Structure 1
Amino acid sequence: MKILIIGTGYVGATTAMVFAESGWQVTGLDIDEAKIERLRQGHLHFHEPGLEELIDKHVRSGRLLFTTDKETAIAGHDIIFICVGTPSRPDGSADLRYIQQVAADIGHWMNGYKLVVTKSTVPVGTQERVTAWIEAAQRQPHLFDVASNPEFLREGKAVEDALRPDRIVIGTDSARATEQLLTLYQSFQCPRIITTPRTAELIKYASNAFLATKISYMNELAKLCDEFKINVNAVAEGMGLDPRIGPSFLQAGLGYGGSCFPKDVSELVMTAREQDVHLHILEQVMEVNRTQYAYLLDKARLRLGDFANKNIAILGLAFKPDTDDIREAPATRMIHDLLLEQANVSLFDPVATLPAHASYGAVTECSSAEEAIRDADAVILCTEWAAFEQLDWESLKGLMRQLNFFDGRNMMDARKMREIGFYYQGIGNDY
């Protein structure tokens, strides 16, 4: 079987890599000439640890090819994975325009039976819409199946998750499609769930929404811990030992961000509303996350009086470590508010950078943490990059104007930071 991956972003590039690594012949298709040329040279257009090396390996071996030729690619491949983006519209619903365009292209250029697999995160019922879009675009009738095969990749851990998945979900009503997909995944040692397309689509949304709920729950609990002078990390440890709860996603902080959780939660809420169902818990999860960054900012404001003409150093821009993704990152909201209050903002992130946008023009992007904190009245840590914990803060404190440290990820040792002279505040972990 020859596999075509349409869309070579984060999901598409990772999917192409993992099938090439499994021994299949894979082609990546994208309309972006510059992106395709970089991939042909074995280079990624985004940061993901370990992925570029594997892409380069399979490009060199000839097992992984990249093209912009829709007609040849669609006609020449047996299985086609749709991996294009599904951004949220302003109302929070999923924008399926790219999915629809790909479906139309497949219908137009197909020359025989094709198995079309939706890997992108899509609302319940999208498999049926893709089927209709392909049929409408066909120039002559050809048999095809459309299956759902959602991805469960963590940014920063995509290679590990792709090569050693904890489950494979296949949503299809076709025995032929089921057989082909099981063959495709035959080398993977993990549970396989064979279900309906609608169920597979909902599994993806339900999984991410549940994890987002755990995060917002702990962020709410951290505020109560502050009032009682209880360390939320100790509470999380005690909770996480219960196997029904588990330790993952119990870390209080500034809230979730990135390309998945914010989008998927809002799209699930909108999907429910379209069915006259209100997911009240998830609506509150979104509200808690929207305002969580301001909780730490309020602490800093109380300490400093106000931010006008204060030098504020932001450490970390990406929504999480090991990625350059700043979509919905709490740091961007933090910076926006600081600028509105006339603060002087300096920023350092090991990988991520601000977009070339006028609203960020007053921010000084620095090449090191040392440069960012020089003459700072306060440091606000927004991303838990390991490098920040490893800094010699005893030595670095001499660079600062005032020794105020606000830890948005509860990363630092509060006792140690205070011992070396810092005024330290985290989120529910100061005790």
Structure 2
Amino acid sequence: MNILVIGTGYVGTTTAIVFAELGWHVTGLDTDAQKIDQLKQGKLYFYEPGLEELLNKHLQSHQMGFTTDKVKAIQENDVIFICVGTPSHADGSADLKYIKQVTEDIGQIMNGYKLVITKSTVPVGTQEQVVAWIQAAQLKSHPFDTASNPEFLREGKALQDAMNPDRIVIGSNSDRATNMIQTLYQSVKCPIIVTTPKTAEMIKYASNAFLATKISYMNELARLCDPLGVNIKEVAEGMGLDPRIGLSFLQAGIGYGGSCFPKDVSALIQAAKTNHIELHVLEKVVYVNQTQHLWLLSKARERLGDLANKKIAILGLAFKPDTDDIRESPSIRLIESLISEKADVYVYDPVASLPANSHFKSIKCCKDMDEAIDGADALFLCTEWSVFERIDWAEMKAAMNQPNIFDGRNVLDAGKMKDIGYFYQGVGYS
């Protein structure tokens, strides 16, 4: 089977590369000619460890290719993965305009049987719309099946997750489609869940919403641990050893970000409202996440007083390490708050950067840590890049105007930092 992946964003590019690695011939299709040209040259336009090496490997072996020619791509491939974006409307609901456009293209262009698999994260019931859109667009009736096959990739660990997944979810009402998808994944060893399209779509949303809930729960608990003099890191360890809870996603910090959790939680809340259901827990999850950085900022005010004209160093723009993704990053929310208080903000990240058209005109983006930290009155650590743990903090202390560290990821050893002479404040850990 030859595979077409429509949409060469983060998920689509990763999906295409991984299926090539699994031995299938893959074509990536996108309307963005610049993006396609870059991929053809073996250049990954986003940062993700290990992917660019595989991209070049499979381009050289002709196991994969990229194109903007949708007619040829759709007609020459029987298995089509939809990996286009589903951005949020103003009310938080998912915008399916790109899904609709792609499915209409498939309907108009298809020249025989096609298996259309939605890998994009979409609201429950979308698969039924996909069928209707394809049928309405067909110029000549051709057989087709549809299925939902949601992705569960972590940015920074996408290759690892794709090659060694926790599970594969197949949502389909067709035995033929199910068997074809199982064949595509035949060399991958993990549990396979075969269910209805609606259930598969809900599994994706429910998974991300639950992980976001764990994060916000620990972040809110950390606020209580601080005045009680309790170490949230030890609390997390004690909780996580219970197999019913688990250790993952119990790390307190300044909140979650990225392209998935904020968007997916909002979409699920909006879907509930449409069905006259209130998801009170998830509404609070969002509130805690949006205000978590303000809690740490209040600690800085207690220490420094008025932040106006004080130099504040920000270490980390990306919402997590091993990615250059700054979408919904807590660091950005913190920067916005600091700017509103007229602080002088200096930012450093080893990989991520602000876009050229960024509205943050008043901040200084630094090429190295020394520039960001030199003369700073306070430092906020916002992304747990490993390089930050290896800093010679004793040397850095001498460069700061005031040795104040606000660790938004609880990365550093509080005791060691205090021994060096820093004022150290973590999140529920000081």
Hey, what does 2:380 align to over in structure 1?
380
Q: How does 1:128-143 map to 2 (within 5 A)?
A: 128-143=128-143
Hey, what does 1:314 align to over in structure 2?
314
Q: Which amino acid is the alignment partner of residue 19 of structure 1?
A: F
Gaps of 5+ in 1: none
**Structure 1 position 232 matched with structure 2 position 232:** yes
Hey, what does 2:269 align to over in structure 1?
269
Shift of 1:161: 0.3
CA separation in 2, counterparts of 1:226 and 1:358? 35
CA separation in 2, counterparts of 1:410 and 1:327? 21
CA separation in 2, counterparts of 1:248 and 1:202? 21
Q: Which amino acid is the alignment partner of residue 70 of structure 1?
A: K
Shift of 1:427: 0.6
CA separation in 2, counterparts of 1:235 and 1:179? 45
With over 3 angstroms needed to count, the CA separation of the structure-2 counterparts of 1:97 and 1:223, relative to structure 1, is same
Shift of 1:358: 5.3
Shift of 1:318: 0.4
Hey, what does 1:222 align to over in structure 2?
222
- Equivalent position SS for 1:81: strand
Q: How does 1:305-384 map to 2 (within 5 A)?
A: 305-357=305-357, 359-384=359-384
Q: Which amino acid is the alignment partner of residue 387 of structure 2?
A: A
- Equivalent position SS for 2:314: strand
- Equivalent position SS for 2:359: helix
Q: Which amino acid is the alignment partner of residue 335 of structure 1?
A: I
CA separation in 1, counterparts of 2:199 and 2:127? 11
Hey, what does 1:175 align to over in structure 2?
175
With over 3 angstroms needed to count, the CA separation of the structure-2 counterparts of 1:358 and 1:161, relative to structure 1, is closer
CA separation in 1, counterparts of 2:358 and 2:209? 33
CA separation in 2, counterparts of 1:300 and 1:355? 27
1:38-80 CA distances to partner (integer Å, 9 max, x unpaired)? 1101111111011111111101110010000000000010100
Q: Which amino acid is the alignment partner of residue 416 of structure 1?
A: K
TM-score by length of 1: 0.99
1:82-112 CA distances to partner (integer Å, 9 max, x unpaired)? 0000011110000000000000110010000
- Equivalent position SS for 1:359: coil
Q: Which amino acid is the alignment partner of residue 386 of structure 2?
A: A
Hey, what does 2:254 align to over in structure 1?
254
Hey, what does 1:415 align to over in structure 2?
415
Q: Which amino acid is the alignment partner of residue 339 of structure 2?
A: L
1:120-164 CA distances to partner (integer Å, 9 max, x unpaired)? 000000000011111111101011011000000000000000011
Shift of 1:393: 0.5
Gaps of 5+ in 2: none
Hey, what does 2:81 align to over in structure 1?
81
CA separation in 1, counterparts of 2:155 and 2:89? 22
- Equivalent position SS for 1:270: helix
Hey, what does 2:97 align to over in structure 1?
97
Shift of 1:357: 3.5
1:286-313 CA distances to partner (integer Å, 9 max, x unpaired)? 1100101100011001111011000000
**Structure 1 position 202 matched with structure 2 position 202:** yes
CA separation in 2, counterparts of 1:369 and 1:20? 39
CA separation in 2, counterparts of 1:340 and 1:277? 37
Shift of 1:356: 2.5
Q: Which amino acid is the alignment partner of residue 389 of structure 1?
A: E
Shift of 1:396: 1.2
Shift of 1:359: 2.6
Shift of 1:316: 0.2
CA separation in 2, counterparts of 1:290 and 1:202? 24
- Equivalent position SS for 2:346: strand
Hey, what does 1:427 align to over in structure 2?
427
- Equivalent position SS for 1:360: coil
CA separation in 2, counterparts of 1:245 and 1:370? 40
- Equivalent position SS for 1:319: coil
TM-score by length of 2: 0.99
Shift of 1:368: 1.0
CA separation in 2, counterparts of 1:182 and 1:47? 30
1:16-43 CA distances to partner (integer Å, 9 max, x unpaired)? 0111001100000000001001110111
Shift of 1:337: 1.0
**Structure 1 position 29 matched with structure 2 position 64:** no
Hey, what does 1:15 align to over in structure 2?
15
Hey, what does 2:113 align to over in structure 1?
113
Q: Which amino acid is the alignment partner of residue 355 of structure 2?
A: P
CA separation in 2, counterparts of 1:30 and 1:59? 17
Shift of 1:397: 1.0
CA separation in 2, counterparts of 1:226 and 1:379? 19
Q: Which amino acid is the alignment partner of residue 88 of structure 1?
A: S
Q: Which amino acid is the alignment partner of residue 378 of structure 1?
A: A
Q: How does 1:34-49 map to 2 (within 5 A)?
A: 34-49=34-49
Shift of 1:117: 0.1
CA separation in 2, counterparts of 1:423 and 1:381? 14
Hey, what does 1:297 align to over in structure 2?
297
* Identity, % of aligned positions: 66
With over 3 angstroms needed to count, the CA separation of the structure-2 counterparts of 1:358 and 1:168, relative to structure 1, is closer
- Alignment RMSD (CA, Å): 0.6
- Equivalent position SS for 1:5: strand
CA separation in 1, counterparts of 2:339 and 2:284? 28
CA separation in 1, counterparts of 2:377 and 2:359? 22
1:302-331 CA distances to partner (integer Å, 9 max, x unpaired)? 111011000000000000000000000001
